[in-house]
Homo-oligomer: A and B are copies of this chain.
Amino acid sequence: MAVVSVQQALSGAIAPGSEVTVRGWVRTRRDSGELCFVNVSDGSCFDPIQVVATAALGNFADEVRKLSSGCSVIATGTLAPSMGKGQRFELQATAIEVTGWVDDPLTYPMQPKQHSLEYLREYAHLRPRTNLFGAVTRIRHCLAQAVHRFFHEQGFYWISTPIITTSDAEGAGQMFRVSTLDLANLPRDGRGDVDFSRDFFGKETFLTVSGQLNVEAYCLALSKVYTFGPTFRAENSHTTRHLAEFWMIEPEIAFATLKEDADLAEAFLKYLFRAVLDERADDMAFIAERVEKTAISRLQAFIDAPFERIDYTEAVALLQKSGQKFDFPVEWGLDLQTEHERWLTEQHVGRPVVVMNYPEQIKAFYMRLNDDGRTVAAMDVLAPGIGEIIGGSQREERLDVLDARMAQFGLEPAHYGWYRDLRRYGSVPHAGFGLGFERLVVYTCGLANIRDAIPYPRAPGLATF
């Protein structure tokens, strides 16, 4: 008698009449005369399997009839076509072993009803047992797998860039300090300042905000590389759109300009969404039913439509003559806000848009200065329903221009010796982009709060894990 997953049992791949064992957690139990219907989920797919129990089971009255939501069971029986609605197969049980009961079923936090997302965030260890977070977890997995598969198929190599770092890739972001210094007895130098030479790495260290600068070194040796790892921002913006800890995907390609960068972003996003629609139809159907009506249709539209590409300068002109009232000003030299981005992609174009060539003063020092001297080869990919989903740029590969830009930003060249080396030794045009993985999950699953796109939602004060 084979142990099978619920996914296998329901897939049709196992002949009806086969004796199988499934294992999982009870979602619901329903009694009907001398029968008992127990829905069992093992998380392998969206649907639970219906296990049909009869009084012929030795523990029918003592145990089966007492099963409640959350109990764990091992059910053995015959797989049979089901008469029930919405299910092709059921398990006619010959044995149900209860492996774990629920302490006080009335207070079990995951009652078989719809809980609010706020409530579920307080039960991060149990919410994966709900329909929604089971679905989000499987979709998230599907996206992560597709990320690795896409790059592998395209000849990219995965690089894990340092998490603990001394440099601030963005030249701006608030960073978390990493230290083993004893706060009760901080070592001091002669001037009374904290003596970081006594810290673990012999200098002041932080959590990385981006792996981009590091991965450029690998790009200029292996041509096509990507990172996929955690990054950190200690921003005190406790919005529904920001996380202190999030995973980032950062591909980097050599011998490439902003055009190839945009091509890559388009091919990449389409590949990911195709994978989700192909592989997680069950979960996406639930998302479309319960979370976001357009979840499936908007991914399909995303895949079908070629991205529009417009210059920042043109985008500003379009916004200015749109007749639309915006909260934030629209003016050449200012960054675009979400309301502007969403108007462009949703109202004006009606499909994803790549906005390119932003004013140099609002972008990072490493972005390549265009010939006009006023703009840099930066891009943002905007998507209907969310706004910016990808940000990227061609990197400044000319050492003299880079040095001038670093001076303009007040960066100390000595701290960037290795980065400058990449321009001294076989420099080539190269480009890349960054994509916040949770933002991708939020968009795919139609979630409103980014804390529902990570396995453990942690707002300040909620860091219990």
Contact B218 A128 (CB under 8 A): yes
- Known A148-B145, A244-B200: A455·B99 in contact at CB below 8 Å: no
Contacts of A99 on B, CB cut-off 8 Å?
A: 255, 426-429
Contact B428 A217 (CB under 8 A): no
Chain B residue nearest to A23 in the complex (CB): B255
Contact A230 B163 (CB under 8 A): yes
Interface check A456, CB cutoff 8 A: yes
A102 to B424, CA, bound (A): 6
Q: Which of A30-38, A86-94, A174-182, A370-378 contacts B (4 or more CB under 8 A)?
A: A174-182
Contact B178 A177 (CB under 8 A): yes
A460 to B427, CA, bound (A): 30
Contact A166 B44 (CB under 8 A): no
A183 to B72, CA, bound (A): 49
Contact A160 B247 (CB under 8 A): yes
A126 to B24, CA, bound (A): 51
Contacts of A72 on B, CB cut-off 8 Å?
A: 220, 426-428
- Known A163-B245, A201-B461, A221-B25: A179·B180 in contact at CB below 8 Å: no
- Whole-angstrom distance from the CB of A416 to the nearest CB of chain B? 10
Contact B161 A152 (CB under 8 A): no
Find the residue from A42, A125, A214 having the highest chain B CB count within 10 A.
A125
Contacts of A129 on B, CB cut-off 8 Å?
A: 220-221
Interface check A162, CB cutoff 8 A: yes
Interface residues of A in 182-212 (CB under 8 A from B): 183-184, 186, 193-194, 200-203, 205, 207
Contact B180 A164 (CB under 8 A): no
Interface check A450, CB cutoff 8 A: no
Contact B180 A425 (CB under 8 A): no
Contact B465 A167 (CB under 8 A): yes
A230 to B229, CA, bound (A): 8
User: Which one of B157, B194, B234 contacts A184 once the chains associate, using CB atoms below 8 Å?
Assistant: B194
Interface check A155, CB cutoff 8 A: yes
Contact A177 B174 (CB under 8 A): no
Interface check A76, CB cutoff 8 A: no
User: Which one of B44, B174, B427 contacts A155 once the chains associate, using CB atoms below 8 Å?
Assistant: B44
Contact B164 A455 (CB under 8 A): no
Chain B residue nearest to A429 in the complex (CB): B99
- Whole-angstrom distance from the CB of A268 to the nearest CB of chain B? 17
A429 to B100, CA, bound (A): 9
Chain B residue nearest to A222 in the complex (CB): B43
Find the residue from A145, A425, A461 having the highest chain B CB count within 10 A.
A425
User: Which one of B164, B425, B429 contacts A245 once the chains associate, using CB atoms below 8 Å?
Assistant: B164
Which 10 pairs, one residue from A and one from B, show the smallest C-beta to C-beta distance? A43-B222, A128-B221, A100-B427, A125-B217, A72-B426, A201-B463, A125-B418, A103-B424, A141-B157, A129-B221
| A interface with B by C-beta (< 8 Å) | 5, 7, 23-26, 42-44, 70-72, 74, 99-103, 108, 110, 124-126, 128-129, 134, 137-138, 140-141, 144-145, 148, 152, 155, 157-167, 174, 176-181, 183-184, 186, 193-194, 200-203, 205, 207, 214, 217-218, 220-224, 229-230, 232, 234, 244-245, 247, 254-255, 397, 418-419, 421-422, 424-429, 454-456, 458, 460-461, 463-465
